[in-house]
């Protein structure tokens, strides 16, 4: 499966994502520049983490208007898989491809550490290779990871089984103590109603090899590949 990794000014995880796909997973991957509209032959788009355009105005607010995002929106609307990681999640929300917003962490501090997330649904290409209840050890690195939406939107997320990951203890218990940023209902990752667009705050590309402290993140990318081949 061919992956395309977007490259924005200020992004700092594009190379990590490229390595995770190309080296750890062994799948074809290419970079896609922010100022171009051609996505090439990519079959899955990765919107990586970082601080695009310095996070000015609001996280993801400027990147959302990059030329490449017009093509990403068309790509997603055609039902093709798009995964946004950390700042990429924020960009997808700003672009209207995912509901809700990511706001300042409740502690008002940048948080960088390993966390645990519980798989809440396997009804998506991104989690189909996992099992409900699986707990993944994946790092976070963000200042605005506090997911929020209004009650009507939240009710739809629950009703449509769109909450894919929640912060948890290593044992899979959902607690406030396990919530690193104050996110509503411990939400760490959601998908759209079509289930082909996924945003998550933890960085699976930084947990793609055991030498990094965990290889659990690779399971998410492997799920996308296996789904694409089925």
Q: What are the catalytic residues? A: 86, 203, 205
CB 55 within 8 A of CB 94: no
Query: What whole-number distance in Å separates Cα of residue 10 and Cα of residue 49?
Result: 9
What tokens appear for 226 in the block?
A: 């296996």
- Collect all residues with Cβ–Cβ distance below 8 Å to 45 and sequence separation of at least 6: 3, 4, 6, 32, 39, 72, 75, 76, 80, 81, 82, 83
Q: Quick one: CA torsion of 224, 150, 139, 85, rounded to 10 degrees?
A: 40
The token duo for 80 is: 């093709």
- Longest CA–CA separation in the chain, Å: 44
Buried b / exposed e over 20-57, threshold 16 CB at 10 Å, is bbeebbebebeebebeeeebeebbbbbbbbbbbbebee
Beta bridge partners of 11: 50
């Amino acid at each position: 499966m061919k992956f395309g990794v977007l490259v924005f000014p200020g992004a700092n995880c594009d190379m990590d994502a490229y390595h995770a796909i190309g080296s750890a997973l062994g799948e074809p991957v290419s970079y896609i520049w922010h100022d171009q509209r051609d996505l090439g032959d990519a079959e899955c788009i990765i919107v990586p983490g970082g601080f695009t355009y310095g996070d000015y105005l609001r996280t993801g607010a400027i990147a959302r208007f990059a030329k490449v995002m017009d093509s990403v929106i068309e790509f997603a609307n055609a039902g093709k898989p798009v995964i946004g990681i950390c700042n990429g999640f924020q960009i997808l929300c700003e672009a209207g491809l995912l509901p809700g917003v990511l706001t300042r962490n409740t502690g008002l501090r940048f948080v960088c550490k390993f966390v645990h997330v519980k798989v809440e649904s396997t009804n998506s290409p991104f989690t189909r290779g996992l099992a409900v209840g699986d707990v993944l050890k994946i790092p976070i690195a963000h200042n605005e990871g506090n997911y929020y939406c209004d009650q009507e939107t939240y009710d739809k997320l629950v009703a449509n089984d769109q909450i894919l990951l929640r912060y948890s203890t290593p044992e899979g218990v959902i607690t406030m103590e396990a919530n690193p940023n104050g996110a509503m209902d411990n939400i760490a990752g959601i998908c759209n109603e079509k289930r082909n667009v996924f945003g998550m705050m933890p960085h699976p590309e930084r947990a793609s090899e055991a030498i990094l402290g965990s290889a659990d993140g690779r399971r998410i990318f492997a799920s996308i590949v296996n789904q694409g081949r089925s």
